[in-house]
Each structure stands twice: as structure tokens, then as C-alpha cells.
Amino acid sequence: MTKKPVDPKKPPEKCVLLSALLPDDPRRKLEKPLDELHALADTARVNVVGEVVQKREKPDPATYVGKGTVARLKQVVTESGADTVISDNDLSPGQSRNLEKALEKKVIDRTELILDIFAQNARTPQAKLQVELAQLEYSLPRLRRMWSHLGGVGFRGPGEKQLETDKRLIRDQIHALKRELKEIRARKEREVATRDAFSVAIVGYTNAGKSTLMNALTGAGVYVADQLFATLDTRTRPWKVAPRRHVLVSDTVGFISNLPHRLVESFHATLEEVLTADLLLHVVDASNPDPLLQAEAVRTVLEQIGATGKPELTVLNKIDRIEDRALLAFLERRLPRTIPISARTGEGIERLASEVATLAIRHEGLYEVQIDVREGAAIAALEALAEPSERSIEKETLRLVLRTRKRSVEQAAARARDRKRVRLRELEPPAIETEAALAKAELVASPGEKPEAAP
């Protein structure tokens, strides 16, 4: 499939979908197990003209599906006039080659299809680098298949030498891209480390409504489309969750079942926001026929990138599309800490903001600031952080008590022209630090010995 802009005058490619459902595949129970692959094909602007599904105990080493299924597939391809076969299963280079030989048609697998979609949707230089790396790593073991048109003696002579040359060039490109992405990730880590705001990362299955939610929360203007992987780039914006209280919220690339491992690795820099977030908003499309399967796929990817164990709220989105509210009650029982919303209509957004504000406060301490009343810029910066719980003036000294983050109050106080006119004191540490200290004390306490409670 082409990765260039689609010519509107040229008819779209026609394809037949193929899938072998193995015993551990949860889609065996679904009435339409190829719905997601169909949606991927639509996103890639390919016209689906047929489907072939086989239930197998294990893959066939030569063609993944059995001989009878290959024969049936060839008949469907011939009758439908398809140009391409798209396999829902990842194929080895040999399996792809054997299927193409039997069908006399182009055969691509799920990973190649997703890479094609990513290539079409990559907008920023970083996303393009990540997609290019994933494509090169995918193509490297398949170069022989790409060179197979040479064949025979000629291929074993100059063709074989050219193949080795191409492999070496691709390896060099891969190393260069990895170095560049490593530098990008290091810059990203430094950028994130300098932030001093409660950070929220929106994660979820592709097309669950993450970008629509991002726009509803922040007015970010993120591109929204009813298709898979419409957004590949991370955007971070401030979100006002309460008066004088903002958090930083980031939209991330969508996940999908069996997300290619090389894509997860390539997009590690983009997923840095997830790894460093204080809170994950796991967006689940509550109107989807199988939201639990999608939620489990997201958890699998979070495990792959090492983001498990983070505080998480499950956002049940698209409730405006649900007629039977008993479904919501079922999902609330099966998924942790759920908040039903509609990002499109705004229903439930206020409750979500309130929950996030409550969690953000747990990362804040209570600080007393005494500052000369003539330090107007610093005072304005301090009072912009949060509503003071105490405010008094004695002679020429203003006393404020604020609940905020330590670095924030330090940065605001540093705006004073004369640092000697400012005194800062922590009255109460963040609740999250107190809980961590208690947990640590619990771990080191002797058997049968209870740790002392925090004062």
C-alpha cells in the first residue's frame, strides 16, 4: 500500500482480510472477529471486499493457515478482484512469501498495515523518525522477499551482493535513527523534569475519544477523527481543575490489541509523558462492543513500557451513546475507580476535574511565607498559586499560608527583589510523601512491631 497522499481519481485498493484464530485468542468468542482489522483497513483507505477466518490449534509453519483455507482464500481473492490480502496475524518472511506465491497477490500482515497507517498520520519530525525506525526494523529481515523478483542464478550473483549491501545500509540507518531518538528522549526527560505541576497522561485504546477529551478539558485543538491512530503526537496543555489550580495534561498515541513491539520501542520517547505522569486517565470507550478487551490491551502495553502501578482513574467515555445504563453499572464493577463521562457533550467533566483536583492536592504541601509587603511581583506570583488559607499583615510583613507544590512556592518567592525579605517554611509535607514514609517504615519494621504514626 502506498504511503503517499491518496489520489482521489485513483480507485482504492481492494483487499481480502485473513485471520487464524488460535485457542488463546479472545476474539474466538466474538461474532465479528475481524471488525478491528476492517477498521484498520478503512483507516488505511483500503476497500475490504472479503473475509476468510479459520480456527486453528496452532499456526501452519509454511502459510500460517491451512492448505484448505489457502485454497478458499484464493477463490475469494479471484472472485472479488482483490489486489491485496491483509493477514490479522503477524507473518514470518517465509509465510508471507509462500502465501504470495500461492495467491499471486500481495500479502501484508497486521504490523505492516499499522506501520502504513502510522506513516500516513505522522506529522511532527519526531513521529516521522519513530515510524521510519519501526519500518526499517520490520523490513530488514524481509529484504530477501523484496528482492525475490530477481530469482535464480542472477539473484545468487550480483543480486545477493546487492542484498547484503542493502542490509548494511539499513542497519546503518537504524543505528543513526536510534541515536537521534535517544537524544530526543533525553531532551524530553530533561523537559519533563523541569516541570513543577501535577501531571496527567491520557491513555487508552485508539479511537476511544482521548483527543476529544483533551479538547474538552483544555481547548487544545487536537485533531479529532473517527478513525484509528488519528493522533500520533503527544501534546501537553494546562487544565484548570479548580479555582487557582491547574494541572498539566498530555494526550498520547492510542494503543491497540497486539500493538507491534517494535512500534512500542520506537515510540518510547513519545510515551515518556506516561512514564513520568503523576496520574493516568485511562479512557475506555464504554459504547464499544467489548470495552473490557480493549482495557486489557491497554494494560498490556502499559506493562510493556514499565508504567504499571501508577495512580489511575478509568474514564468511561461516550456514555451519550449508551441506551442501557445497566452496562455502565457492569463496567463500574469490573474496572477500577471509574468516572462515566461524555467528552462530546461534557457530561461528567466537572466530576472528573474534581477527582483530579483532589488527587493533585495530595501532592501538595502546606507552606508559610513571610514576605515584605513591598515585594509586589513575588506576592502576586504567590497568590496566583492557590487561595491562601491564612493571610495577615504585621507592620511591613505579609504572612501567607498556601497549599501548593514546593518548587512552585520557591519559584514564586524567588521573584522577590531582595531574597532577605522572604522567609519560607514547610508546615505540612505532601500527603503522598507521608504515605510513602509510612510504607517504608512498614517495610523496615521488625516482625510484630508496628511503626509509629506520623505526627
Does the domain spanning 14-121 belong to CATH 1.10.10.10? no
d(CA 294, CA 372): 56
CB of 210 closer than 8 Å to CB of 202: yes
Residue 74: phi and psi, rounded to 5, are -65, -35
Adjacent-strand bridge partners of 370: 399, 423
Residue 52: phi and psi, rounded to 5, are -135, 125
User: Is it the case that residue 453 has pLDDT exceeding 90?
Assistant: no
The closest of 196, 220, 189 to 343, measured between CA atoms, is 220
pLDDT at 445: 37
357-371 residue pLDDT tens: 999 988 888 999 999
> Which one of 3.30.470.20, 3.30.460.10, 3.40.50.2300, 3.40.50.300 gives the CATH number of domain 195-360?
3.40.50.300
3-state secondary structure of 17: strand
Other residues' Cβ atoms within 10 Å of the Cβ of residue 35: 14
pLDDT at 374: 92
Return the biggest CA–CA distance within the chain: 97
422-433 residue pLDDT tens: 999 999 888 776
d(CA 143, CA 246): 51
User: Is it the case that residue 439 has pLDDT exceeding 60?
Assistant: no
How many residues are recorded in the chain? 455
CB of 316 closer than 8 Å to CB of 332: yes
User: Is it the case that residue 441 has pLDDT exceeding 90?
Assistant: no
User: Is it the case that residue 436 has pLDDT exceeding 70?
Assistant: no
Adjacent-strand bridge partners of 365: 404
**Pairing, β 365-372 against β 397-404:** antiparallel
d(CA 256, CA 274): 16
133-155 residue pLDDT tens: 888 888 888 776 554 444 433 34
Other residues' Cβ atoms within 10 Å of the Cβ of residue 453: 8
pLDDT at 434: 64
Element (H, E) at 397: strand 397-404
The cell 495512580 sits on which residue? 311
Q: DSSP secondary-structure letter at 453? A: P
Element (H, E) at 49: strand 47-55
The rounded percent of the chain whose pLDDT value lies above 90 is 42
CA 117 to chain centre: 16
pLDDT at 153: 37
Residue 165: phi and psi, rounded to 5, are -65, -45
d(CA 288, CA 395): 64
CATH code reported for the domain at 363-433: 3.30.70.240
What is the DSSP annotation of 65-90?
Answer: S-HHHHHHHHHHHHHHT-SEEEESS-
371-424 residue pLDDT tens: 999 999 999 999 988 889 999 999 899 999 999 888 888 888 989 988 888 999
CB of 40 closer than 8 Å to CB of 120: no
**Residue 341 burial by Cβ neighbours in a 10 Å radius (0-12, 13-18, 19+):** buried
**Alpha-carbon Rg of the chain, whole angstroms?**
27
101-139 residue pLDDT tens: 999 999 999 988 988 888 887 777 877 888 888 888 888
Residue type, 439: A
For the whole model, what pTM was predicted?
0.76
